[in-house]
Structure 1
Amino acid sequence: MITRTSPIPKQQRAVVRSGSGSTATTTIQTIDVDLPGPGQILVRITWTGLCGSDKALLHDEWAGFGVAMTPQAKGVAGHEGVGVVVAVGEGMENRWNIGDRAGIKWIAKTCGECEFCLSGVDEVNCIRQVNSGFTAPGTFQEYCVADGRYTSKIPDGVSDEDAGPIMCGGVTAYVACKRANVKAGQWIVLPGAGGGLGHLAIQYARAMGMRVIAIDGGDDKRELCQKLGAEVFIDYLSTPDIAAEVRKITTHGAHGVIVTAATKTVYATAPTYLRPNGTLVAVGLPADPSILAGAPPMLLSLKRLNVVGTVTGTLKDVEEALDFTARKIVHPVLVKGKLEDLNSWVEKLEKGQLAGRAVLQVAKI
């Protein structure tokens, strides 16, 4: 039995991928609205974030790694969607009410039974997970069926448009700060600090008491990073030796570095920013498989460096990341658009023309 508002339309607008590879585009199409089955809810999407992962999936940038949008996604990407619950499937009546606000993430569903789920802290590696916009239709549509157990509740004090980017970009930056193992009062370096992930990492790092060195290019990025709390800004466009500048500021190098800028140059130089026992966190995902995260064995061994990776976060991590926004500590810097203009926003993302995070309005409530 389904509990629902009335009426729910039979069809909806959705942005659907056309073509494949780097020339793929999207078009607004009319598709059916699916109703939730047992254990599911139906969310009317109000806002959805635009993530670099969406661009990568739409353009098959990760096909060389065996990661490409599957037929089950029906050409609908998006994994930072927030909206209102309009129908509740059987078994979810005690968890969700009509009108509750819900957030849909990259991990749409976990099995709850595999070794990683049962560990209690590592369900992001669930071997049977379902992913929005990858193995299930994503949030670039007006109505999205979601798993009732794994969908996040949005707390009071967090707007839909602010909550969207926290579903992926925010929680990824938050977990990266935790993985960096940098204590309060210690230095962390953030290459790409003015971007969608980087500007959130500045805020989470500051909230944890870290001293932030932001790296990016141009006066606009400088202004943004300093406004968000970066103690030092290094402009890579005018700084010939960034590692030397980091050492000048920190004496022995930074305690951690989070790489959100997915370029060969940054991944090659980032380990040189670190002091002994420092940690590099790989977050940015280059399409080029020849780009490696790490350092020559001599440098790794002599400095006893740590190289770790992270991707998104657990259900509990999302709850914690949202709490920073509810308490007015972390606030995504947003540029807003319409779902109909997705192609132009993807192009801006491709050219690095977005400062902060892009969110697209889907429906009005």
Structure 2
Amino acid sequence: MATPEIPEKQKAVIYDRPGTVSTKVVELDVPKPGAGEVLVHLTHSGVCHSDYSIMTNGWKGLHPTPPGQVGGHEGVGKIVKLGPGTESSGLKIGDRVGIKWLSSVCTNCQPCQAGLDGACVNPKISGYYTPGTFQQYALGPAHYVTPIPDGLESGAAAPMLCAGLTVYTGLKRSNARPGQWVVISGAGGGLGHIAVQLAAKGMGLRVIGIDHGSKEGLVKESGAEYFVDITKFPVDDDGKAISAHVISLAGGLGAHAVIVCASSNAAYAQSVKFLRFNGTVVCLGVPEDKQPIATACPATFVAKNCHITGSAVGNQTEAKEVLEFAARGIVKPHFRTEKMDNLTRVFEELKGGKLQGRIVLDLS
């Protein structure tokens, strides 16, 4: 394939006032790939709640985001230039690839060698001190960009690179088996609606989705057997009413697993109450404060013989696996396409918590 013409300048979206909900479309130089890198002409990028948290400096444990940071970590596009040392990568110009939350991992540390890329001791995070995917051209390491299956449209592929990968890995870590009950908290959100589809349609699990009542249609359409509207239950009873209802839906014993996609402490406080004996809570959503889970006392774990575990994104093999679910039509991300200029408004929607599914930026 002939080498595409590469411009000198490109459009990008930056966080112009970190700590606030504010973005700005600017013109930047198109980067040149160094050793081991490829240059990707991006056409689409998903928008994630993690982007919002980085932009607003919401995660207090992280260094504040610098002004001018290019955000984004769900980018899809075609390789237009190969850097030195990429000859053995198997990549070629024209290949369609994705750039993920983890732009790169070292591959040498013990977590990487154990397949736990999310715990890499020397990662690069796309959109946080590494230029992200809210731009038309981005660099990616040849060893870590993810091939996009031919049958999967780029807009639909973008959410699978973070939202899809994160929930897929979390469902695997839950150890839930076909026919067992799984509760998905935040089931109508960007992560949640994909988790429902993977669980119900891809893994044969029986799903109870929990979210705001406005998202019931999307959650049931995604494959949930039952929907629980959080607004129908009191907030001052220590979760007794909602947990009793969920337990009754799950055969009277409770769920085998609870996948917490929501980023609220209330969701975590309820999660352990939904479990049956030997069940597992999987932590995916990251609250912006550090309040502990109210129900996570030793007596609960002893009495139920239950478990709590965390899961951070996934590795390259898992990324390829979850993209195949989408390519086969088992998972169909619900998304709306927006232009780069509308990103601030999109983040304002995301802040309100009423957004259904995912937003994907058209980077043209």
TM-score range, shorter chain: over 0.9
Q: TM-score, normalised by structure 2?
A: 0.94
Residues 223-281 of structure 1: per-residue CA shift (max 9 Å, x gap): 11111110111111124411111121221111000111111211111100001111001
Which stretch shifts more, 91-100 or 129-138? 91-100
Alignment match of 2:57 (pick from 46, 60, 76): 60
What is the RMSD of the two structures over their aligned residues, measured on CA atoms?
Answer: 1.6
Displacement, 1:294?
5.8
Contact 1:171 1:312 in 2 (8 A): yes
Q: Give 1:12's aligned residue.
A: 10
Residues in 1 aligned to 2:249 and 2:272: alpha-carbon distance in whole angstroms:
16
Displacement, 1:179?
1.1
Q: Give 1:344's aligned residue.
A: 345
Contact 2:42 2:363 in 1 (8 A): yes
Contact 1:211 1:230 in 2 (8 A): yes
Q: Give 1:182's aligned residue.
A: 176
Residues in 2 aligned to 1:179 and 1:105: alpha-carbon distance in whole angstroms:
20
Alignment match of 2:212 (pick from 214, 217, 220): 217
Residues in 2 aligned to 1:345 and 1:129: alpha-carbon distance in whole angstroms:
28
Displacement, 1:67?
4.4
Aligned length: 355
Residues in 1 aligned to 2:7 and 2:185: alpha-carbon distance in whole angstroms:
45
Assess, with a 3 A threshold, how the Cα gap between structure 1 residues 78 and 265 changes in structure 2: closer, same or farther. Answer: same
TM alignment of 1:232-251, pairs within 5 A:
232-240=226-234, 241-250=241-250, 251=252
Contact 1:158 1:326 in 2 (8 A): yes
Residues in 1 aligned to 2:176 and 2:291: alpha-carbon distance in whole angstroms:
29
Residues in 2 aligned to 1:4 and 1:245: alpha-carbon distance in whole angstroms:
61
Residues in 2 aligned to 1:353 and 1:252: alpha-carbon distance in whole angstroms:
31
Q: Does 1:281 align with 2:279?
A: no
Residues 99-150 of structure 1: per-residue CA shift (max 9 Å, x gap): 110100011111122222233x123222111110113100001100111110
Residues in 2 aligned to 1:258 and 1:293: alpha-carbon distance in whole angstroms:
17
Displacement, 1:19?
1.9
Alignment match of 1:103 (pick from 82, 98, 102): 98
Q: Does 1:335 align with 2:347?
A: no
Structure 1 counterpart of 2:62, which letter?
G
Contact 2:208 2:224 in 1 (8 A): yes
Q: Give 1:310's aligned residue.
A: 311
Q: Does 1:164 align with 2:182?
A: no
Contact 1:152 1:315 in 2 (8 A): yes
Residues in 1 aligned to 2:91 and 2:62: alpha-carbon distance in whole angstroms:
36
Contact 1:194 1:355 in 2 (8 A): yes
Displacement, 1:356?
0.5
Q: TM-score, normalised by structure 1?
A: 0.94
Q: Which runs of 5+ in 2 are unaligned?
A: 235-240
TM alignment of 1:65-144, pairs within 5 A:
65-69=61-65, 74-94=68-88, 95-119=90-114, 121-144=115-138
Residues 32-79 of structure 1: per-residue CA shift (max 9 Å, x gap): 1111111110011100000000000011001x21344358xx510100
Q: Secondary structure at the match of 2:129?
A: coil
